[in-house]
Amino acid sequence: MSAASPKILLVKLSSLGDVLHNLPLVWDLRARLPNAQIDWVVEEAYVHLLEPLRTREGFKGIDRIIPFGLRRWKKHLFKLSTWEQFFSFKKQLQEVSYDVVIETQGLLKSALVCALANKSSNAVVAGLANATQFSGYEPIAKVFYNHQVQVPLQTHAVDRSRLVMCSAFNWPVIQRSDTPQFYASRMKVDLLKPSIPELKTPYVLFFHSTAREAKRWSNEAWVTLGVDLAHRGFQVVLPWGNAAEKAVSAELAKQIPNALVPPAFSIADAFAVIAGAALTVGVDTGLTHLAAVLGLPTVEIYCDSPRWKTEGYWAYHIRNVGDIALPPDATELVKASVELLTRPT
């Protein structure tokens, strides 16, 4: 391995929020190893999150993004095309011999990707030695690491990734004072305008849905906040991801003046929709975290997950309200939202 230009593989497959909170590793590595090769294996649904960091003329970021189709393959295990796609993935993965493999999720599927990777004779394969509270972890994954990293039980997702990376390279631990970077600052001005004709500026996004029902904020509280913001001249926009979420959006929209239930949009489209918003308010879910990592005004609502795990601590225009088993009331949200909407830019 060349000390100045190692070949590094990042393995963070999913989900949306987890991938976002792993992005600072790219910037951390580039700051210390500008000539390294940095590749990343990610579930194909989240490739769009990494595209803005792809190495291109005048910019060094991720050299190779290697899409992984496990979610889709599991649905069609007995199809020949599935296995053809898997072996194509394996071939692409093994085109490079890696000196350092960093796996920050602690799941068997991620560890198996580490095992499949082509590695140099003295390669470091670094991963978690233990679970952190309220995070998925499969102890069998440790079998596939030769460098196991013990982390505190209560560790923010960004800090956890940084701990594994620093240990892999025997670097001093990166402190929070070294503010994590997610996307280039110029990315916001490069984005296209959202292609939803009904959007009226200024608008506020409400991400009310999440995979786990207990993490939702009450409909009554959303309506109270929405009515307040509508009376202040903001269009409230209620995105959705499936039929059940669309029904909730429609119900909320009936009670909030001039609210909009937009057409479904992809993760790629979400960049533009979020970038155009005056404010994003959302529960602990991936699209809310996307607004926060883009450095945009964001209020993150915690109802049934610990705030310390994913709170946006890196920017003055992020507000984190509530906590596990302590959902905030609407008054707190109105206050936080108005603070951000009226704050001088």
Strand duo 37-43 + 64-68: pairing: parallel
Digit-coded pLDDT (tens) for 285-328: 999 999 999 989 999 999 999 999 999 999 999 999 999 999 99
Measured CA to CA, the distance from residue 98 to residue 125 in angstroms comes to: 9
CB 274 within 8 A of CB 287: yes
pLDDT over 90 at 57, yes or no: no
**Locus of tokens 């509530």:** 322
Q: What DSSP state is assigned to residue 141?
A: G
Measured CA to CA, the distance from residue 164 to residue 172 in angstroms comes to: 11
Q: What DSSP state is assigned to residue 328?
A: P
pLDDT confidence of residue 4? 79
**Locus of tokens 């489209």:** 269
Longest dimension (CA), the chain: 65
Cα dist from 202 to 63, 234, 237, 273, 281, whole Å: 37, 5, 10, 12, 14
Once rounded to an integer, what is the mean pLDDT over residues 270-286? 95
Structural domains of the chain, ranges and CATH numbers in brackets: 7-184 (3.40.50.2000), 188-342 (3.40.50.2000)
Measured CA to CA, the distance from residue 40 to residue 8 in angstroms comes to: 8
The token duo for 223 is 């309506």
End-to-end CA distance of the chain: give it in Å, rounded: 46
pLDDT over 80 at 55, yes or no: yes
pLDDT confidence of residue 212? 87
pLDDT confidence of residue 189? 44
pLDDT confidence of residue 195? 73
The residues, any chain, with a CB within 8 Å of residue 79's CB and separated by 6 or more, are none
